[in-house]
Amino acid sequence: MLDSHPKQGLYDPRNEHDACGVGFIANIKGLKSNDIIRRGLEILVNLDHRGAVGADPLVGDGAGCLIQMPDALLRDWATSKGHVLPPPGRYAVAMCFLPRGDVARDFAVRLFARYVAAEGLTLLAWRDVPIDTTGLGARVLEAMPVIRQAIIAAGPAIKDQDQFERKLLATRKQILNNLSSLAQKNDLPGLRELYCPSFSSRTVVYKGLLLAPQVGTFYTDLANPLTVSALALVHQRFSTNTFPSWRLAHPYRFLAHNGEINTVRGNVNWMYARRHAMASDLLGPDLDKMWPLIPHGQSDTACLDNALELLLAGGYSLAHAMMVLIPEAWSGNPLMDPERRAFYEYHAALMEPWDGPAAIAFTDGRQIGATLDRNGLRPARYVITDDDHVILASEAGVLPVPDERILHKWRLQPGKMLLIDLEEGRIIDDADIKQQLATEHPYGQWLSASQIKLEDLADPAAAPLDAPTHASENRRCCVSSRRSATRARICNSSSNRWRCKAMTRSGRWAPTRQSPCSRAARACYTTTSSRTSPRSPTRRSTRSARRW
């Protein structure tokens, strides 16, 4: 069975990695058409050689396409079924892979409806996604889930689309995160097959255990003239150390990825370590409903996608979140301006870099872009045409474009970003993006006010034996003067590893009960804000402090 596998023998799902072909096409002015989708699928077909197949040539590692919400298509369907859809932005589509077994599937549908209602949303209807299985291999059909779309309306308490997206995230997390325990409790192993490739009011993902040429024929929605989009993000998967499955195909909910995230184990561990230090005014109590933020048994790309969606839900812009997750090589770079270096150093204490080699294309349905990690070992080339289209892919020539129609062509460089804002109708240059974000707040001043580096302290061994150790000064690095409910900071950066313990005369690290840190109870965790200036130390639970 081509399905998700538990840990067995030498196989461990934590070693899931991807090395694939990725690409997108977007209309800079945000003009939607079915031609964008058609050309996106053509890019996918031309990246077919970057995917993998098994001994059975009809079994690949997966492929897919992400588009904007096909509102006209869904309204036409709703009219034919007697349903009334709310205005765009007030309803969402959950693309669902449901269990194959009838009993498990009925349980999953009831579970879905229960959590949707519990979060104040309305489940309007289920839509059977039209598919054409012609040409699919027998083993692919054997593992194919039941594919349906849940149409969900926003409740009256939801004020805007951003709040709706946060509520959808909390709903999806609660549905999916408890499947293993529910499957065991109810003796329904098939319940674990439930998966949501997308769950949004802005985008829909069509993907599966398909070959690149099969995506456009399998999902007949994509060929429907009513299905229009200003972007199409496509991906052909070549997995390493994995078993192929429907859920591991790309794109994920916000990104598609070529390469590997080789730091993923540490990244995930740090996310778990921050659990008791995280808080958000935007998410509020919904944050506690989302754990685990990064479930076990996922590929590296799925883990990165989970981290990205958390930052977006917490109020970060798309470009800001990607710069935090995948920073440039900033430490010791004499050519980087001080403001940008301070930006990266400040955020290095919030999030460890998700290092590749990796080329990542990302979108939230309003903006679309791509970036290379600081290693720069995965190709990404793009062209800008005179009819306001941007075409980016893992290689040049994925779409035939006459030379006279090309305004600009180039490649992504290490740590650089290409961003297209479809609402503003413009391409935002890498330098402009980072200059704007780096100067938005006085990161350099915040660093100076909150950091004490070990190399700046006096050597304790040089002090007289009867001299005080000044432990409170040594531990002052733990105290920060920034407050926010949306971001948490660890006193720890990639260039300087601070400790919450003071050096005693014997030369051993020992906790100092007299220091301000023990009273502030930060346990190295402090909060920061991108919107406020330094203030008084924030409150943290004493439970976290006792660890130190």
User: Which of residues 479 and 381 earns the better pLDDT score?
Assistant: 381
> Do 426 and 387 sit in the same domain of this protein?
yes
Q: What is the pLDDT of residue 1?
A: 37
Burial class (CB in 10 A: 0-12, 13-18, 19+), 531: exposed
Per-residue pLDDT reduced to its tens digit, 291-314: 999 988 788 999 999 999 999 999
CA distance 276 to 521: 12
The pLDDT value recorded for residue 2 is 45
Half-sphere exposure at residue 83, Cβ-oriented, CA atoms within 13 angstroms: 20
Q: Is the pLDDT of residue 125 over 90?
A: yes
Instruction: Give the range among 16-25, 88-97, 202-211 with minimum mean pLDDT.
Output: 16-25
Highest mean pLDDT among 265-269, 355-359, 439-443 belongs to 439-443
51/360: higher pLDDT: 360
Query: Is the pTM higher than 0.75?
Result: yes
403 & 459 share domain = no
Question: Average of pLDDT values for 254-265?
Answer: 91
- Of 373 and 539, the structure prediction assigns the larger pLDDT to 373
**Confidence band for 60, pLDDT divided at 50, 70 and 90:** confident
Residue 5 lies in a domain: no
pLDDT on residue 480 = 37
- Whether 134 has a pLDDT exceeding 60, the answer reads yes
Amino acid at 511: P
Residue 6's pLDDT is what? 62
Mean pLDDT score, 372-398: 94
Evaluate whether residue 267 is within a structural domain.
yes
CA distances in angstroms from 510 to 410, 450, 496, 501, listed in the order given: 54, 22, 19, 5
pLDDT at 482 over 70: no
Residues in the chain: 548
**Pick the residue with more confidence: 358 or 476?**
358
The reply to whether 182 falls in a domain is yes
pLDDT at 131 exceeding the cut of 50: yes
Confidence of residue 489 (pLDDT cuts 50, 70, 90): very low
Average pLDDT of the segment spanning 66-95: 97
| Token reading at 47 | 């990246």
Q: Are residues 220 and 329 in the same domain?
A: yes
Determine the 3-state secondary structure of 225 from DSSP: coil
Handedness of CA 84, 89, 91, 95 (dihedral sign): positive
Distance of CA 484 to the CA centre of its chain: 22
Q: Which residue has the higher pLDDT, 330 or 237?
A: 330
Last residue in a domain, options 385, 414, 438: 438
Across 363-375, average pLDDT: 96
The model's pLDDT over 425-438, given as tens digits with 9 standing for 90+, comes to 999 999 999 999 99
Domain termination residue (choose one: 438, 470, 486) = 438
Instruction: Establish if 407 belongs to a structural domain.
Output: yes
The arithmetic mean of pLDDT across residues 163-186, rounded, is 95
**Total number of domains constituting the chain:** 2
Identify whether 447 is part of a domain.
no
344 and 472 fall within a common domain: no
**CB 362, CB 346: distance < 8 Å:** no
Split at pLDDT 50, 70, 90, the class of 54 is low
Say whether both 377 and 479 belong to one domain: no
Catalytic residue status for 20: yes
Residue 467: give the domain boundaries: 454-546
E strand or H helix at 125, and its extent? strand 122-128
Determine the Cα–Cα distance for residues 85 and 273; give it in Å rounded to an integer. Answer: 42
Residues 297 and 372 in one domain: yes
pLDDT digits (tens, 9 = 90+) for 195-214: 999 999 999 999 999 999 99
The answer on 468 and 366 residing in a single domain is no
Is 449 part of any domain?
Answer: no
The mean pLDDT of 273-292, rounded to a whole number, is 91
Q: Which residues pair with 525 in a beta bridge?
A: 490
Last residue of a domain, one of 404, 438, 472: 438
Q: How far is CA 15 from CA 122, 146, 260, 546, in A?
A: 38, 28, 10, 34
Average predicted confidence (pLDDT) for the chain: 83
pLDDT value, residue 332: 86
Lowest-pLDDT choice from 30-44, 112-126, 369-383, 459-473: 459-473
| pLDDT at residue 298 in the model | 85
Regarding whether 117 and 262 lie in a shared domain, the answer is yes
- Please determine, for residue 540, whether its predicted confidence score (pLDDT) is greater than 70: no
Return the pLDDT at 240: 58
pLDDT surpasses 90 at 384: yes
The pLDDT of residue 488 is above 50:
no
- Answer yes or no: is 468 within a domain: yes
Q: Virtual CA dihedral for 68, 360, 168, 188, nearest 10 degrees?
A: 110
Same domain, 383 and 512: no
Candidate list 20, 478, 517, 524, residue with the active-site label: 20
Whether 168 shows a pLDDT value over 70: the answer reads yes
pLDDT of residue 460: 72
Q: Does some domain include residue 535?
A: yes
Q: How far apart are CA 327 and CA 344, in angstroms?
A: 7
Same domain assignment for residues 356 and 246: yes
CATH of the domain at 223: 3.60.20.10
**Which 3 state secondary structure label does DSSP give 122?**
strand
Q: Are 169 and 309 in contact (CB under 8 A)?
A: yes
Highest mean pLDDT out of 3-7, 105-109, 528-532? 105-109
Q: Which residues of 250-269 are buried (b: 16+ CB within 10 A; e: fewer)?
A: bbbbbbbbbbbbbbbeebbe
How far CA 37 is from CA of 34, 216, 217, in Å, comes to: 5, 9, 13
pLDDT, residue 479, reads 35
User: What pLDDT is stored for residue 465 in this prediction?
Assistant: 57
CA-CA-CA-CA torsion sign (181, 291, 261, 233): positive
Distance (Å, rounded) from C-alpha 499 to C-alpha 523? 10
The more confidently predicted of residues 517 and 124 is 124
| 370 contacts 360 by C-beta, under 8 angstroms | yes
- Same domain, residue pair 224 and 300: yes
286/307 Cα distance (integer angstroms): 16
User: Predicted confidence band at 483 (pLDDT cuts at 50, 70, 90)?
Assistant: very low
* Domain shared by 20 and 167, yes or no: yes
* Cβ neighbours of 385 (radius 10 Å): 18
Phi-psi region of 207 (alpha: psi -120 to 50; beta: other; left: phi over 0): beta
